[in-house]
């Protein structure tokens, strides 16, 4: 198939990704995920509070896909920034590794 | 299913990193051998889409939610589970370092569960099923089983870590991810693969994806 149709696939994929970035802060469930939910149900209380008190080893600039003080707009921005970062890394990796054809 | 730092002691987290490393390196080798200018846009679009869809948690009842992982989807499109390992590694690095989603010490375990286990099981289940039940059902079954087995692996790791009791951990992780795998993984993977099969059937053909050794020799000769 032509290079053009792969570029079309690329733009459709990017459009879907950014649409998801905009919608996720409003539509995504805030319920705990399967692992957290399992932990909440079966880990004994003393151990759980110990786990909860433990800070992540590396502190992240946008914890929980949010930007402090920016509310839902910040969440949209955070997910969009992450999507862009993944995109840039994949394209960069592609540039380093890919063969010219 | 992103394991935070606090769920696995550092001594064990290091071991999962050591196990994950050869898989990560092989996925880079896959990229070096298989990626060309035609495939890079497809890989980048899938990686960006998977990062974004992982932010979309779907409620599954029982006060719990879950999201797609996507390794099986990438593996099916590229005809290689190594593509799934590569994309999930990239996504998990960004999630761990920029968003605190999944720990940095536990990233090895997360890459192993979501990139390697869900991708390999998802892909080879799809391959085993696709001739008999067709692309749509095979991609559903593969993606669903891949996610379920990776959740079981995660429960066992949590038991070894001393964080979860074995039986209750297996039951809880199994139950939640049975459902997450059905909706979040199986259904979405099947819809995307079916859409690709209709609009770009060439992408799922073996000549685009897996390059058999024979062809490789011919093109280089």
- Across B162-169, average pLDDT: 94
Residue A15 pLDDT > 90: yes
Q: A89 contacts in B (CB within 8 Å)?
A: 47, 90, 93-94
| CA dihedral angle for residue A55, residue A56, residue A61, residue A65, rounded to 10 degrees | -100
Question: Between residues A94 and B74, which one has the greater pLDDT?
Answer: B74
Question: Is the four-CA dihedral B136, B141, A12, B79 of positive or negative sign?
Answer: negative
Cβ of B87 under 8 Å from any chain A Cβ? Answer: yes
Q: Are A37 and B62 in contact (CB under 8 A)?
A: yes
Which of B36, B52, B64 best probes binding to A when mutated, by most A CB atoms within 10 angstroms?
A: B52
Which of B10, B48, B179 best probes binding to A when mutated, by most A CB atoms within 10 angstroms?
A: B48
For chain B, helix, strand, coil in percent to 5 are 75, 5, 20
Question: Between residues B16 and A63, which one has the greater pLDDT?
Answer: B16
Q: Are A56 and B92 in contact (CB under 8 A)?
A: no
Residue A53 pLDDT > 90: no
- Across B181-199, average pLDDT: 94
pLDDT value, residue B85: 98
For A65-69, A83-87, B82-86, B101-105, which range has the lowest pLDDT when averaged over its residues? A65-69
- C-alpha angle B84/A60/A14, rounded to 5°? 45
Q: Find the closest chain B residue to A22 by CA distance.
A: B52
| Residue A54 structure tokens | 């433990």
- Across B142-163, average pLDDT: 96
Q: B43 contacts in A (CB within 8 Å)?
A: 90, 94
pLDDT value, residue A1: 54
Q: What is the pLDDT of residues B29-84, one digit of tens each?
A: 999 999 988 899 999 999 999 999 999 999 999 999 999 999 999 999 999 999 99
| CATH number of the domain within which B91 lies | 1.10.1760.20
Which of B27, B39, B45 best probes binding to A when mutated, by most A CB atoms within 10 angstroms?
A: B45
Question: Between residues A41 and B119, which one has the greater pLDDT?
Answer: B119
Q: Give the CA distances from residue B198 to residues A5, A66, B195, B201, in Å, rounded to whole numbers and listed in that order.
A: 14, 37, 5, 6
Alpha-carbon span B11 to A9, nearest angstrom: 43
**Percentage of chain B modeled with pLDDT above 70:** 93
ipTM of the complex: 0.92
| Residue B52 structure tokens | 């974004």
Q: Are B151 and B58 in contact (CB under 8 A)?
A: no
pLDDT value, residue B213: 45
pLDDT value, residue B215: 44
Q: Do A56 and B103 touch (CB under 8 A)?
A: yes
Confidence of residue B217 (pLDDT cuts 50, 70, 90): very low
Confidence of residue B97 (pLDDT cuts 50, 70, 90): very high
DSSP character at residue B2: -
pLDDT value, residue A5: 86
Q: Are B123 and B142 in contact (CB under 8 A)?
A: yes
Alpha-carbon span A55 to B215, nearest angstrom: 52
Domain containing B126: what range? 5-220
Q: Are B80 and B198 in contact (CB under 8 A)?
A: no
Q: Find the closest chain A residue to B157 by CA distance.
A: A35
Alpha-carbon span B155 to B42, nearest angstrom: 33
Domain count, chain B: 1
Q: Are B8 and B105 in contact (CB under 8 A)?
A: yes
Q: Find the closest chain A residue to B29 by CA distance.
A: A97
Confidence of residue B149 (pLDDT cuts 50, 70, 90): very high
Question: Between residues B220 and A57, which one has the greater pLDDT?
Answer: A57
First to last CA, chain B: 46
Residue A35 pLDDT > 80: yes
Per domain, the residue ranges of chain A are 3-97
* Residue tagged 């679009």 (tokens): B45
Q: Are A79 and A91 in contact (CB under 8 A)?
A: no
DSSP B31-43: HHHH-BTTTHHHH
Q: A62 contacts in B (CB within 8 Å)?
A: 98-100
Q: Are B7 and B75 in contact (CB under 8 A)?
A: no
- Across B91-119, average pLDDT: 96
Residue among B54, B67, B46 at smallest CA distance from A78? B54
pLDDT value, residue B164: 93
Confidence of residue A55 (pLDDT cuts 50, 70, 90): confident
Mean of the per-residue pLDDT values for chain B?
91
pLDDT value, residue A101: 53
pLDDT value, residue B209: 47
pLDDT value, residue B90: 97
Residue A12 pLDDT > 70: yes
Q: Find the closest chain B residue to A75 by CA distance.
A: B55
């Amino acid at each position: 198939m032509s290079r053009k149709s792969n570029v079309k696939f690329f733009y459709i994929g990017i459009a879907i990704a950014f649409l998801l970035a905009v919608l996720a802060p409003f539509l995504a469930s805030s319920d705990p995920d399967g692992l957290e939910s399992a932990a909440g149900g079966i880990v004994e209380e003393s151990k759980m509070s110990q786990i909860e008190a433990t800070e992540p080893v590396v502190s992240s600039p946008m914890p929980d896909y949010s930007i402090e003080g920016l509310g839902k707009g910040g969440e949209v921005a955070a997910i969009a920034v992450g999507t862009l970062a993944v995109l840039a890394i994949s394209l960069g990796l592609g540039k380093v590794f890919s063969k010219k054809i | 299913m992103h394991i935070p730092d606090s769920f696995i002691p550092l001594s064990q987290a290091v071991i999962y990193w050591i196990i994950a490393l050869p898989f990560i390196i092989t996925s880079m080798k896959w990229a070096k051998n298989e990626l060309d200018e035609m495939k890079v846009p497809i890989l980048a679009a899938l990686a960006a889409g998977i990062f974004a869809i992982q932010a979309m948690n779907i409620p599954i009842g029982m006060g719990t939610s879950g999201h797609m992982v996507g390794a099986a989807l990438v593996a099916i499109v590229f005809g290689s589970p190594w593509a799934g390992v590569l994309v999930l590694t990239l996504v998990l690095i960004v999630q761990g370092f920029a968003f605190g989603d999944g720990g940095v010490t536990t990233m090895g375990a997360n890459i192993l569960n979501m990139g390697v286990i869900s991708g390999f099981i998802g892909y080879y289940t799809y391959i085993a099923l696709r001739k008999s039940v067709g692309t749509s059902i095979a991609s559903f079954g593969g993606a669903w089983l891949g996610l379920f087995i990776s959740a079981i692996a995660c429960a066992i790791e949590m038991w070894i870590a001393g964080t979860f009791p074995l039986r209750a951990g297996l039951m809880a992780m199994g139950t939640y991810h049975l459902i997450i795998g059905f909706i979040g993984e199986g259904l979405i993977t099947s819809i995307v693969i079916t859409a690709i099969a209709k609009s770009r059937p060439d992408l799922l053909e073996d000549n685009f994806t897996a390059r058999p050794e024979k062809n490789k020799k011919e093109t280089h000769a």
